[in-house]
A and B are shown apart, each in its own frame.
Chain A
Amino acid sequence: MSRRYIYIKVYCAGTVTEEQFSQTLSASIVKYFGEIGLSQIAPKIIRYDSSKSSAVVAFAKDYAAELHAALAFITHVNESDTLMLPLKTSGTIRGLSNS
């Protein structure tokens, strides 16, 4: 399975931990694409920086649109307004290092 890596910036009124980020992302994917969709997209958090509120997530190459849509549908984390913005997608983690 070919993978891609996405750099996501998290804007939230409160703080978001890695666990909350992971749970929210999975919940959004399951809500709109189901368990099968989650297994197809196969998101995996490579890096989460809570000080910069950013994350690098690996996912299956053919399901980029599904992941982007799932991120767009996230409006709240822990009852705080949240925006998850995909800023860059690359075929290698190194390709995201400048972000």
Chain B
Amino acid sequence: MAQLLALCGYHSVGVTVPTGLMRDRLEALCDRFRDSGLEIFLRADLTCSRREELLKLLRRFRPAFDLIGVRCTNHSLALVAARDRRVDLIFFDHGKRNVWLDDSIANVSNASLEVNLRLLLECQDLLSLTRLRKEIAIAHRHNMDIVLSSGGTSAYTVRAPIQLMAIGEILGFTRQDALRSVSTIPLRIVTKNSHRRSSNYIEEGVTTLAEGQ
């Protein structure tokens, strides 16, 4: 899969790993991707149904991962996840009919909306595509960043960046926006997070400088 990703033209990938994976297995996974010439960022996808549960998971896992995504299972959880600065990406299950991105979520969101192609392919129906187009229009209206990802779980579910861009274009992105969604926006998120996780970082806008700087 790592070789296939390199063949597709990726330079950096965010890999979702189970939160309880042992450190040595994580290292082996990272080495495999690095051997293929890819920069790897570890990502955790948090799934829960209550606010307290989400905050507890964020406290526990935010420092350990480069990227944190939250699967929004209900509207109140989506609001909390969107507002919390520790959350990088929020995504919605297109097969579920009880929760979707609306103006109230997009209006307060600090996180980016992730359009996961795997979830879209799992329920290839007109309703999912229509709702996704609406969500993208709402996100654009509120200047919310959108990240296009393949969400691949096997070699057969990987998609090339140009394919993700093309899907973005048919879902209502301009070509430039689609390009940003697979390149600069994800890169900006991981760069910001690596800065936050550095020892010099104190809080938003405050960084310690070494003597003489």
A interface with B by C-beta (< 8 Å): 11, 13, 32, 64-69, 71-73, 75, 81-83, 85-87
Contact = CB atoms under 8 A, between A and B. Distances in A.
Interface of B: 4, 7-8, 117, 121, 124, 154-160, 162-167, 169-170, 175
8 contacts: A32-B170, A65-B165, A65-B166, A69-B166, A75-B156, A85-B8, A86-B162, A86-B163
Nearest to B160: A85
The 10 A-B residue pairs whose C-beta atoms are closest, nearest first, are A68-B166, A72-B163, A81-B156, A69-B166, A65-B166, A65-B169, A83-B156, A69-B167, A72-B159, A69-B170
Given A85-B7, A85-B8, A72 B166 contact: yes
A68 B156 contact: no
A75 B160 contact: no
Contacts of A72: 117, 159-160, 163-164, 166-167
Main secondary structure of the interface of B (DSSP, over half): helix
Contacts, number: 56
B160 A66 contact: no
B156 A66 contact: no
Nearest to B171: A69
Contact of A68 (B4, B154, B162): B162
A82 B163 contact: no
A68 B165 CA distance: 9
Given A65-B166, A72-B160, A87-B7, 13 more contacts: A11-B4, A65-B170, A66-B170, A68-B163, A68-B167, A69-B163, A72-B159, A81-B154, A82-B156, A83-B4, A83-B157, A83-B159, A85-B160
A81 B167 CA distance: 20
A92 to B, nearest CB: 19
A64 B175 CA distance: 12
Contacts of B170: 32, 65-66, 69
